[in-house]
Amino acid sequence: MIKNIAIVGATHGNEFTGLYLAKYFLKNPNLLKRDSFDTKVIIANPKAVKLTKRYVDRDLNRSFNIKDLHDESLSSYEDYVAKVLNAKLGPKGSKNPKCDFILDLHTTTANMGLSIVVSSDDKLTWEAIYYLCQIEPNLKVFRWLGDEENSFLDSITKSGFAIEVGAVPQGVLRADLFTKTKQLIYHLLDFFEKYNKNEISQDKKSLIIYDHVELVDYPRDERGEIIAMVHPNRQDRDFELINRGDPMFLGFDEREFLYEKQEPLYGVFINEAAYYEKGFAMCLSEKKEVEI
C-alpha cells in the first residue's frame, strides 16, 4: 500500500520545468489529491534557484550516498540540504521511510524528449514505468549506471525515478515539455491509485529500455583542454543508433573523430551542458528488452 509520495522540483536550481511545476502544485494541491495516498511537493534547492545555478557548492543530485548522509563533517550547502531532505523523506535505508516513492523532476539541454531516468531495481518502480509507457508510447527509459552510484535524490527511498525532458536551455521554460511533464505526473498518480486498489496486473511484462554502457568524454589535448565538439551529425540525435565509423566529434580544425567500437550503441544525454564539468559528452547505451 502506497501512503506517501513526494514530487521534487529544482534539485538543480536552473532547471525550471520542475521548479515551476512544484510552484504550481503548491498553489493548487487539489490537482494532486487522490483518495488512497498523500502527495507532498518539495522545492529541493531554493538557494540555487535564487542564483539560477545548478547548485551552490556541489551537485545536490550526487549528494545522497548513504556514507555522505551520515558524515557530519561535510559542510557544503548541498550536503546540509541532502541531510534535511533525507530526514524529511527517508531516512535512506529505513524499513519505514516517511515517503514511499520519490518523483524527481529534471530537464536536460540534450534532445531527449520525454524520458525517464531510473537506477532502482525495485518492482514497484518498474511497474509504474511500464504503466506510463503504455500511455505515452514516445516515452523513453534510460537506466543510469553513471558517474556516481546510488547518490541520486530519488535513492532516498526504495522506489522512485526522475522525469528528464529536453531539449531545454538552462533557466528556460518550454510550454510543450512543461505540459507533457505535468500530464505524466497525473498519469503516475493515477497508477498509484489503481495500484492501491489492486487494479494493476501482476502478470509478467516486458519493456524496451536503454541500458547504460559507458560515459564518453570529449577529445582533449595533453593539458586536458577540449579540442573537439559533438559532431553536427550526432547533435540532437539522442536515442539513435551509433555505428562503427559514424562521426562523433568535430575538431576545431574540422578533423572528424569517428566511433570506433565494433558494437553499435545508442547515444543519450548528448552534449548536455551540465556534464562539461563532469568530463563527458554523452552516455552510450544498449537498447534491450527487460522483463518486469
* 238-278 tens-digit pLDDT: 999 999 999 999 999 999 999 999 999 999 999 999 999 99
Q: Quick one: residue 254, left, alpha or beta (phi over 0 = left, psi -120 to 50 = alpha)?
A: left
- Rounded Cα gap, residues 236 and 254, in angstroms: 19
Report the predicted TM-score, pTM, of the whole model to 2 decimal places: 0.96
- Rounded Cα gap, residues 291 and 278, in angstroms: 32
Secondary structure class of 273 (helix, strand, coil): helix
Helix (H) or strand (E) holding 81: helix 77-89
Q: Is the per-residue pLDDT at 149 higher than 70?
A: no
DSSP-assigned beta bridge partners for residue 38: 4
User: What domains are there in the chain, each with its CATH number?
Assistant: 4-203 (3.40.630.10), 213-282 (2.20.25.160)
Task: Specify the pLDDT at position 202.
Answer: 87
Q: How many CB atoms lie within 10 A of CB 33?
A: 11
Q: Is the per-residue pLDDT at 146 higher than 70?
A: no
DSSP-assigned beta bridge partners for residue 220: 226
Q: Do 212 and 283 form a contact (C-beta atoms < 8 A)?
A: yes
In a 10 Å sphere around its CB, with 0-12 CB exposed, 13-18 middle and 19+ buried, how is residue 74 labelled?
middle
Name residue 287's amino acid. K
